[in-house]
Structure 1
Amino acid sequence: MREFSVPERLGGLGALVAVGAAVWPTVTARTGAGLPCPLRTLTGVPCPACGLTTAAVALVRGQVETAFQANPLIFGLAAFTAVAGPLVALRAAGVLKPPRSWSSARRRQVGWLAGLTALASWIFQLHRLG
């Protein structure tokens, strides 16, 4: 079994999120169940991922502005999702080489980028939700 790269894994997550976003409105309409943010429920402080469910549902429905207003991170996940399918297919067909492991310097860079992205999202959510 081959290893999947980080973009492929994020794309797979995005595909699962898209399926969930397509099904979630039906589940909530029939059951009345919601999906509150645990951090916001316990502390009143939103987390960097607050609004991602709303954003995913809006994006699946084609409501781009609503998705952006809920959480712009959804567009990054959507980009990984759009790239991952063809990437996995091309690697499976042997057109592209399998992914290589990242160096420790590259991992550190991506860690910083992920942290800064989460911080930017958190600032956005704090501003949006007061």
Structure 2
Amino acid sequence: MRRELSVPERLGLFGLSVAPVAAVWPWLTDSTGLGTPCPLRWLTGVPCPGCGLTTAAVALVHGDVGGAFRANPVIFGLAALAVAVGPVLGLRAVGVLSAPVAWSARARRRMGRGVVLLALASWVFQLIRLGVG
């Protein structure tokens, strides 16, 4: 079964949409006082695996690679997908690449385990970074 967009492509497109928002985010929060609190951290005091992604995106868009890494290194995976999605979709549009094929059940299970491990690693990173525990 062929699909229009794969999950990595969708994540890449999401990353592309995040970049312009991250570029103006400091101005927006400074002028309005609004922010994006983490609901889990607000309710429990425990950060989620995605804590720091907004800070990391803002830092990366503004060229602060070290700050982005310190906030949440997962941002680099999202940024890599965002950079790759344009050429992939362009090559698909001109017929060089075919539409993505759905993964087998085994491949989906494997990827699911990898995502769980990545989320756990990110969570441990956040707990250490924020001194929780």
TM-score normalised over the length of structure 2: 0.94
Alpha-carbon distance between aligned partners in 1 of 2:20 and 2:10, rounded to the nearest angstrom: 16
Alpha-carbon distance between aligned partners in 1 of 2:110 and 2:86, rounded to the nearest angstrom: 25
What residue in structure 2 maps to residue 29 of structure 1? 30
State the AA in 2 paired with 1:54.
T
Alpha-carbon distance between aligned partners in 2 of 1:33 and 1:115, rounded to the nearest angstrom: 31
Deviations 1:50-94 (CA, angstroms, capped at 9, x unpaired): 000000000000000000000000000001111111001100111
Alpha-carbon distance between aligned partners in 1 of 2:20 and 2:106, rounded to the nearest angstrom: 35
| Deviation, structure 1 residue 20 | 1.5
What residue in structure 1 maps to residue 103 of structure 2? 102
Alpha-carbon distance between aligned partners in 1 of 2:36 and 2:20, rounded to the nearest angstrom: 16
| Deviation, structure 1 residue 9 | 0.6
Alpha-carbon distance between aligned partners in 2 of 1:85 and 1:105, rounded to the nearest angstrom: 28
Alpha-carbon distance between aligned partners in 2 of 1:52 and 1:109, rounded to the nearest angstrom: 25
What residue in structure 2 maps to residue 61 of structure 1? 62
State the AA in 1 paired with 2:120.
L
TM-score normalised over the length of structure 1: 0.96
Deviations 1:34-57 (CA, angstroms, capped at 9, x unpaired): 111110000000000000000000
Percent identity between matched residues is: 64
| Deviation, structure 1 residue 19 | 1.6
Q: How many residues align?
A: 129
Alpha-carbon distance between aligned partners in 2 of 1:123 and 1:114, rounded to the nearest angstrom: 14
The farther-off stretch of 40-49 and 5-14 is 5-14
Runs of 4+ residues over 2 Å off in structure 1: none
Gaps of 5+ in 1: none
* 1:16-95 equivalent positions in 2, closer than 5 A: 16-95=17-96
Gaps of 5+ in 2: none
| Cα-Cα RMSD | 0.9
